Structure 1
Amino acid sequence: MKSRYSDEDRYSDEEYESSNGGDFAIGILVGAAIGALAAVLFAPMSGKETREKIVDLAGQQKDNLKDQWDRTKEATKDAVNTAKEKIGNLTDKAENKVEYFREKTKDEVDELSDDAISEIDKFDKRY
């Protein structure tokens, strides 16, 4: 059965893993926070103990989210640096090819020009 999506619409394995890794981690953190909050709210404790536990869990989740944010920022910086490096390499290759073809074309034009001048000189000598 043929897929309705073209090959361009599909992620490479690397793109798929990098795009969903952060989402998965955030999902785990949110799920853990909801589960911990539910456990605290349904546990038989006094109001004061419950509030203290919620504040403690909120602090832990804040720390977890900050860590995830820092990892995501670092991964983004790495991806940007890698992209810049690849673009720089591609730019260098393109510049080298342009220079190669410019020189090659110049040499061929010079050769054709010399041939034309030579033929004109031969023609002038005959007539």
Structure 2
Amino acid sequence: MRFTIRKQPQDYLTDQRYLSGLLTGLVAGLAAGFLFAPRSGKETRSQIAGAVTDQTKEVKNQWDKTKDQAREAIEHIKTNVGITTSKAEDELETLSNKAQDKAKQFAEDAKSGIDKAKNALT
């Protein structure tokens, strides 16, 4: 008995045989389209050149949008990190001040206790 593992759709994107078959089919379809096209070769080439130019512009626009979004995301992250760092610094300073106040109070209490002990001994 032979078992085959069913592939998930995302698995096809990394499957060499699938991708090569897909590309071969695409090229064969384009070739057949060019051979049986109702336009002359010059018109077809002009149409293809126009379509490629349009697609190139669209890809460039999408790339520019993506770069802008990435820059905005980086700036947003930098801002959030700065805010978080400032909050952490403020909290650390508050804790440090509390610790210093407690240490001073402890020192004063210790000094007072020592003074009481000296007075009791004399």
TM-score (norm 2): 0.70
Query: Gaps spanning 5+ residues in structure 1: where?
Result: 1-33
Cα-to-partner distance string for 1:2-31 (whole Å, 9 max, x where unaligned): xxxxxxxxxxxxxxxxxxxxxxxxxxxxxx
Q: How far apart are 1:45 and its partner, in Å?
A: 1.1
- Determine which of 88, 93, 98 is the counterpart of 2:92: 98
| 2:121 counterpart of 1:119 | no
How many angstroms apart in 2 are the aligned matches of 1:92 and 1:121?
43
- Determine which of 39, 44, 48 is the counterpart of 1:45: 39
Runs of 4 or more, structure 1, over 3 Å off, are: 40-43
Say what the alpha-carbon RMSD is for the aligned residues. Answer: 2.0
1:65 corresponding residue in structure 2: 59
Cα-to-partner distance string for 1:27-85 (whole Å, 9 max, x where unaligned): xxxxxxx8xx95x7353111111111111111000000011011111111110111111
The higher-RCO structure (CA 8 Å, 6+ apart) is 1
1:84 corresponding residue in structure 2: 78
Matched position secondary structure for 1:43: coil
**Alignment size in residue pairs:** 92
Identity %: 36
Larger Rg: 2
| 2:68 counterpart of 1:74 | yes
TM-score (norm 1): 0.67
